[in-house]
Amino acid sequence: MKFDNLLEQMKDRMPLKRLEHTKGVATTAIRLAQKYGENPEHAEVAGILHDVVKFADKEWLKQMIISAHLDPLLLAFHPELWHGPVGSIVAQKEFLIEDKDILHAIRFHTTGRAGMSNLEKIIYISDMIEPSRKFPGIEFLREKAEIDLEEAMISCLTHSITFLIEKKQPVFPDSFHCYNDLMQKRGKVKE
């Protein structure tokens, strides 16, 4: 990996198992970026930093959301969603990442959003399908990622939304907006 130094800095921020996940996301993102004509270095940086504050104190994350004037609706949802938006701020302030596409890829890697760039989709997908992930249906998602980025994004997002609904958990609105945007871009909705 080109950014081994950046990956090294993650060691103090997460358990070893999550560090392995982070490496998996970065390598998967590099491969998908190359496949779909995106910048592999941007994919690697976003992959390494996507969980930069995942294990931060929840109260600190909450205060960051408030002080940075992030969407206050985040606070009404599970704290699991907080690390993406706060992570993008940390990536910018502590790691001096200026590229908006990288920052958005970090910010929206758990929820998606309408109007996602290809890099954002690559990080969302890579987070779900990296090699250490194991759940029913993952091979189908991995196959989709090798065939078509849009179809892979739709499949991964559908899997995520369905999982939350089956667990009777709320779904953050950005995920629904993302799904609707992807469906509408496919063409006219069939009657």
- The label of the residue with tokens 């190359």 reads 34
Q: Which positions ≥6 away from 77 have C-beta within 8 Å?
A: 170, 172
Give the architecture-level CATH label for domain 4-186: Orthogonal Bundle (1.10)
Tokens of 42: 């941007």
Confidence bin at 90 (pLDDT 50/70/90): very high
pLDDT tens, position by position, 139-182? 999 999 999 999 999 999 999 999 999 999 999 999 999 999 99
Give Dmax over CA atoms of the chain in angstroms.
Answer: 53
pLDDT tens, position by position, 118-127? 999 999 999 9
Q: Are 101 and 115 in contact (CB under 8 A)?
A: no
